[in-house]
Amino acid sequence: MIHLSKRMQALANLVSSCKTFCDVGTDHGFLPIYLVQSETCERAIAMDLREGPLDRAKTHIAEFGLSDAIETRLSDGVAALSAGEADAVLIAGMGGNVTIHILTEGLAVCQQLKELILQPQSEIDEVRKFVFSQGFVLVSEDMVEEDGKFYPMMKLVHKSQLSEEEYKNLRTDESKPYTEAELLYGPMLLASHHPVLMKYLKKDLKREETILSKLPDLDEERILTRRKIVENKIQLLQELLK
Q: What is the pLDDT of residues 77-91, one digit of tens each?
A: 999 999 999 999 999
Q: What is the pLDDT of residue 172?
A: 77
* Domain housing 144: 6-173
Same domain, 74 and 43: yes
Question: What does DSSP assign to residue 226?
Answer: H
Question: What does DSSP assign to residue 93?
Answer: S
Same domain, 204 and 158: no
How many independent structural domains does the chain possess? 2
User: In this structure, what CATH number is given to the domain that contains residue 60?
Assistant: 3.40.50.150
Residues of the chain where predicted confidence (pLDDT) is lower than 50: none
186/125 Cα distance (integer angstroms): 8
Q: What is the pLDDT of residue 63?
A: 97
Q: What is the pLDDT of residue 74?
A: 97
Same domain, 122 and 10: yes
Span 64-117, pLDDT tens digits: 999 999 999 999 999 999 999 999 999 999 999 999 999 999 999 999 999 999
Q: Is 149 within the bounds of a domain?
A: yes
Per-position b or e across 5-22, b if 16+ CB within 10 A of its CB: eebbebbbebbeebebbb
Same domain, 153 and 202: no
Q: Is 181 within the bounds of a domain?
A: no
